[in-house]
Amino acid sequence: MKNSKDKIIIYLFIAALLLVYSLKVDAQQIEFGLRYNPELTGLINSNDYNAGNELGLKSHFGYLSGGIGAVYNINNHIGLAVDLLFSREGQAFQGHFNGNPPNAATYSSVVSTQLILDNTVIVGDYVALAELNYIKLPIMLSLTSDNTKPLFFTLLVGPQFNFLQGVAQEINGEDHFYPNSNIEPKDLYKSLTINGVLALGGAYNITSSLVLSARLRLDYGFDDVEKKDLMVSYPNAAPVRFYSTERQATHNLTVGLLLGLDFKL
């Protein structure tokens, strides 16, 4: 994984150099601005969807994503765009423990493990949250109607690199960890994953140098965000797999309203 990350950093550095060169070639074609993206998020896993009363998924509104972005307009209809965004996302759960061992292939098993390590036992209803903080780097093709018009339509599409910055896991409103083990919440998830991103909407030229945009934005993870081969060690015991071999891939999904305010250089 480290070698892959190093290669990606090199490629991104080369891309940045090309962007700097393009700025020198024709600064009039460059836009630079702010991004704000209130979003709905989820972690999609077939085991969790089919868990029954033991585990249910809840919609989790209220997350905010934002950052900066740039667009290089090759002509009035085609360009290249890149954003640098912070995104807090994840999945909310609700369920019911009836005293029986939870299904090892579902997230309820993660909840149960945290409670056992914290010397807490729950029989009855619970709520839980898996919250992941990412730095996102989408690199996109920008397609527009005539962007010299006052109002024009826009479409952005391309790959996105997600760099994991931190993880919080809550149960009944309290953060939980993994005491007496060799892992912490961040260890359960991959440090780098690749998504696809699509954003569709419109933009308005407020002035000759200021552009306001609004797009419905969706990104979906092609990779499994969880480290299925993670091994965990407990005192006086041999290391074991943290996730069940029956647990399917978990993909992250965000849907948001991407608002942009760009300045033409």
**SS3 at position 25:** helix
**SS3 at position 53:** helix
Quick one: pLDDT at residue 25? 47
The closest alpha carbon to 147, from 217, 213, 220, 193, belongs to 213
The torsion angles phi and psi of 29, rounded to 5 degrees, stand at -95, 5
Quick one: pLDDT at residue 122? 80
Tell me the per-residue pLDDT of 38-94, one tens digit each, with 9 for 90 and over: 999 999 999 999 998 999 998 766 678 999 999 999 999 999 999 999 999 999 999
Q: In this structure, what token pair is assigned to residue 47? A: 């085991």
User: Which regions of the chain are under pLDDT 70?
Assistant: 1-28, 60-62
- What whole-number distance in Å separates Cα of residue 203 and Cα of residue 197? 18
Identity of the residue numbered 241: R
Quick one: pLDDT at residue 69? 96
HSE value, Cβ hemisphere, 13 Å, CA-based, for 166? 5
Quick one: pLDDT at residue 1? 47
The torsion angles phi and psi of 139, rounded to 5 degrees, stand at -120, 115
Quick one: pLDDT at residue 27? 47
Quick one: pLDDT at residue 12? 59
- What whole-number distance in Å separates Cα of residue 36 and Cα of residue 69? 10
**SS3 at position 250:** coil
Identify the residue whose tokens are 């209220």. Answer: 62
Q: Are 43 and 252 in contact (CB under 8 A)?
A: yes
Q: In this structure, what token pair is assigned to residue 227? A: 């480290």
The CA–CA distances, whole Å, from 75 to 30, 129, 199, 214 equal 11, 45, 19, 21
Quick one: pLDDT at residue 19? 53
- The 8-class DSSP code of residue 244 comes to -
Rg for the chain, CA atoms, rounded: 22
Residue partners of 50: CB distance under 8 A and separation at least 6: none
E strands along the chain, which residues? 30-44, 56-58, 60-73, 78-97, 124-144, 151-171, 174-175, 192-207, 210-221, 231-232, 240-241, 251-264
What are the residue boundaries of the structural domains of the chain, listed by start?
Answer: 33-68+88-134+162-264
The closest alpha carbon to 182, from 231, 110, 115, belongs to 231
